[in-house]
Amino acid sequence: MTAPLPYFAYGSNLHAADWARFCTQRGYRHDGLVRQHAAWLPDHRPIYHYHSRSRNGGALDVTPTIGQATPGMLFRVDTDGWKALDAKEGACYARQTVTVLTEDGERHAALTYTVHPKHRRPGFVAPTAVYAKIVESGLRDFGLPTSVHARAAADERPAPAVRHLFVYGLLQSTQSLGNALDGIGHRQPARAPGRLFDLGAYPGWQPPSTPDDWVHGELLELTDPETALAEADAIEGFQGHDAEALYHRVLIRAVTANAGSALAWCYRYARPLSSRPIGDGRWTAAATLGL
């Protein structure tokens, strides 16, 4: 029997007391959600364009936006938990399957709730201060960042939570493709956990198999993430997080020379591999050509 997908929560259901209050009022158990780990809904941002009568104001939704990422938590949910979630969200939200990312370069299929199109309004619907505080407190309880949600609650387009791209091959500054990218600010040498495979004319990154696996490359600060990622996606043949591709855009933690750390996008090779990884985690076009 296939295990059910986990639930990705990004709003008020992160707040344990608010969730327990609803379950108690409606006669459901409130222990049907079991925490797994933090995750991000990629290329989506939080938005308030739905009026909730029960909240007396705006309630959260997400909307597709390249380069943005919405933080949340994955939960394992039992049968009673899904019944409670459907009762809480089912009137105006629709359950849908999404791909979420964890900071180790892995992708996970999950279920979440988004506002049904017929209930969305064309403009901003302000949340009450109480509701915005519930969302903020829930995020803080799990150690998640609150800035993108706070800006959404103020009707401000959120600054991207992920402003960096880790590159290790043809998008490095020594390569013409890397130099042609728009929307790139500062570049600096960096490394990230992983294994690097020489695929001939280009390399491919995969998550590490041991703590000693590191890939060396560059950390790019993105001044215009939407433009830069659209160009990089086209180069890498990435057409969306739910699509088959040669590379998938994932999330990792990159480390700079001064030991700084940054959450960064990275392109993960998505096909089966038969070659051995490059021992020192470094790739150059010259080495590939035997120069």
Break the chain into its structural domains and give their ranges: 7-153, 164-288
Check residue 249 and give its pLDDT: 97
DSSP annotation of 224: S
Q: How does pLDDT run across 171-227, given as a tens digit for each residue?
A: 999 998 888 888 888 899 999 999 999 998 899 999 999 999 999 999 999 999 999
Confidence of residue 3 (pLDDT cuts 50, 70, 90): low
**CA separation, residue 228 to residues 99, 182, 220, 238, 248 (Å):** 22, 5, 10, 13, 16
pTM over 0.75: yes
pLDDT digits (tens, 9 = 90+) for 60-97: 999 999 999 999 999 999 999 999 999 999 789 999 99
- 3-class SS at 170? coil
Residue 115 confidence (pLDDT): 97
Assign a CATH topology to domain 164-288. Answer: Hypothetical upf0131 protein ytfp (3.10.490)
CATH superfamily membership of 7-153: Gamma-glutamyl cyclotransferase-like (3.10.490.10)
Percent helix, strand and coil across the chain, each rounded to 5? 25, 35, 40
- pLDDT level of residue 258 (50, 70, 90 thresholds): confident
